[in-house]
Amino acid sequence: MTDGPSYGFDTLQIHAGARPDPATGARQVPIYQTTAYVFRDAEHAAALFNLQEVGYIYSRLTNPTVAALQERIATLEGGVGAVCCSSGHAAQIMALFPLMAPGRNVVASTRLYGGTVTQFSQTIKRFGWSAKFVDFDDLDALKAAIDDDTRAVFCEAIANPGGYITDLRAVADVADAAGVPLIVDNTTATPYLCRPIAHGATLVVHSTTKYLTGNGTVTGGCVVDSGTFDWSASDKFPSLSAPEPAYHGLRFHETFGPLAYTFHGIAIGLRDLGMTMNPQAAHYTLMGIETLSLRMDRHVENAVKIAKWLEADPRIDFVTYAGLESSPYFDRVKTVCPKGAGALFTFAVKGGYDACIKLVDSLEIFSHVANLGDTRSLIIHSASTTHRQLTPEQQKAAGAAPNVVRVSIGIEDADDLIADLDQALARATQ
């Protein structure tokens, strides 16, 4: 179904990548809980290991259940291929791995999930990589940050935690002019609300743990390749353009064309990093995606109603939801996320840090968890949890100041959620 441009999103989210099982006729994608696969003969095995034939070798590399999920996500995002892995954080390392080398850097938005900021500012240093953090609303600052050692530009479509909307086309134009790929984390938007590749992104990453699965059961990640970047246009990306010693001098871009990055992600990335998604996790995510559009419509509807109520409440200093007319990103929603601004945002509670702590401890329907994108409504005080490793300046830049809480609005009855917030705010600000 990847070649069916006439199919709508609602059809593709159910059928893309899914075919009746040839052995049994099973209509739902089976969980292929197997480690290895029997080769037809020695010639077949050699062809697979030489990348001369596509097939299944070992489940660290490829698995039929995971392959179905990869095809579905790539189709929904408008990409040519995808590689699924064990978590969203794994997806970020997988995305950078073919591009980077010691001494190289990635230019990243200041508005990122706190764990991503930590991964980019601390952990990747162990690979000899570095990150520069820039406010992506300042395009001149973005241009100035890119240098000869920059190998990627990274941002979120809808930034966690504040729900800020990135001007993807403007950022993509800057990246294109510099000859480097734009990587967009589309976790909080999902391909239903935003398709970054249509706005010029080269690669899209997801934490499939969140909205794609939608029920808080499994972790997973995915890297989607647009297939549009010319990896051989310069000598910046030798992993994709130069001979690969592990495959007898094969050049990935020359051999696989638009699918070069995807094949590298499997043949090198999963082979050597081993960040494999297990087939049961893939199965849960496949089932979750079947209802993605239905859930996202309800998430957005609830978020708009609750954000408006919060904005009008005198106990609240401000609300960052881009779906509010007061938001500086309101007009940007129409072009980047025309079906809605998502369901993730923050609000500041009068009374500061202590009031935020009382708030999260007083809620009954909202769950206090380090997750987002669940059918259930979730809340967290980022400054004391997900962003606590950051400096106060980094917390503020990321939209996670001490007086701010982050909410992920679920699909419950909106009036019940408002009543829960009302009683909790009464306790927190008395």
User: What are the pLDDT digits (tens) for 24-48?
Assistant: 999 999 999 999 999 999 999 999 9
Provide the pLDDT confidence category of residue 5 given band limits of 50, 70 and 90.
low
The C-alpha atoms of residue 302 and residue 92 are separated, in whole angstroms, by 30
Predicted TM-score (pTM) of the model is: 0.95
Per-residue confidence (pLDDT) for residue 333, from 0 to 100: 97
- ∠ Cα 222 228 231 (to 5°): 90
Please, are residues 150 and 105 in contact by the beta-carbon 8 Å criterion? yes
Report pLDDT digits (tens) over 65-90. 999 999 999 999 999 999 999 999 99
Per-residue confidence (pLDDT) for residue 4, from 0 to 100: 45
The C-alpha atoms of residue 155 and residue 196 are separated, in whole angstroms, by 11
Please, are residues 15 and 1 in contact by the beta-carbon 8 Å criterion? yes
The full set of domains in the chain, from first to last, is 13-288 (3.40.640.10), 292-428 (3.90.1150.10)
Positive or negative torsion for Cα 403, 359, 303, 221: positive
Per-residue confidence (pLDDT) for residue 120, from 0 to 100: 97
pLDDT exceeds cutoff 80 at 386: no
Report pLDDT digits (tens) over 230-280. 999 999 999 999 999 999 999 999 999 999 999 999 999 999 999 999 999
